[in-house]
Amino acid sequence: MSTAVILMNLGTPAEPTASAVRSFLRDFLSDPRVVEIPRPLWLAILHGLVLPLRPRRIAPDYAAIWNRSADGAPVEGSPLLYYTRRQAELLQEYLGERRADVTVTYAVTYGRPNLETVIDGLRRQGFESFIVFPLYPQYSATTSAAIYDQVAQIYRRSRDIPDISVIRDYYRHPAYIRALANSVREHWQKRGAAEKLLMSFHGIPKANVTKGDPYYRQCCETAECLAAELGLGGDSWQASFQSRFGKAEWLQPYTDKTLVEWGESGVASVDVICPAFSADCLETLEEISVENRANFLQAGGKEYRYIPALNLRRDHIEALASIVAEKLPARCHH
């Protein structure tokens, strides 16, 4: 029986315009997994404040990253969607050389192509076995669980339920850690090592962790594994959290405040890597590469370098392949 592997990432506006951003944010921020504020209150805030104001404010940020990668090479449209599609194509090539019974494609949690449409199309082609692979190394209810919800909805609406498994996380998988470490070492070979390495993870509200979300612990373990793989001492690296939204307390230390403190305290150079992101996107290409660079330099820092996400690196595709291989059914030998 053939198996379809579906790589999944968050999603993106269809184009870098206020109307497209509004449509994407409406879909994304309406998910109870993403925002856990009581529904009536949050929906009033979302439709009364966020959707009327935020799309116009951030559409230029999307326009700035459209067709652009971290290393300056052109990409097609949204970097996140481009990388997700290319990761699926490269993983197909890699696995296809070893497993003729595996097909790889992609979907997004919000926007298009969505999971249900992709699975429907594959079932029409005869597939009955699916591995859904969220490209979130660290599990969080705000990201990975939303994909589990979509899988559950497919089950709820189907009489003939297909065989679906979900890869929950891979935050300390040796091949993933090795790919991260290789990307840092190659950066150091070209540029030299900075005084400090900042590992910036996407933040979530602290209350989510208090309620049982394992994301913070998994981020810390990823950071510790990467530091150990690189042989870094305790004062030469730090984990931090970016992209907070709203007035609630989020996971700390905050990336932007950490960089300002380092700049003010005399740290001259910093390398920044974002291990929670499998592909470069708005939060890395704009928030990390542009906004936080300015924060650090304005605070007195001298040199700020962003180490791109793993994107289309060969060792990243090999890591994804080794993670998938652990889930694939054994082949029958006649």
160: number of Cβ within 10 Å: 6
**Residue 283, annotated ligand binder?**
yes
CA dist 7 → 21, 38, 89 (Å): 23, 31, 10
**Residue 15, annotated ligand binder?**
no
Strand order in the sheet with 102-110: 102-110, 3-11, 129-134, 163-166
Q: Which two tokens stand for residue 294?
A: 């300015």
Phi, psi (rounded to 5 degrees) for 66: -60, 135
b/e sequence 191-226, b meaning 16+ C-beta within 10 Å: eebbbbbbbbbbbbbbebbeeebbbbebbebbbbbb
Q: Which of 159, 163, 160, 174 is nearest to 6 (CA)?
A: 163
What's the CA gap between 192 and 194, in Å, rounded? Answer: 7
Binding residues for Fe(2+): 202, 283
Binding residues: 202, 283
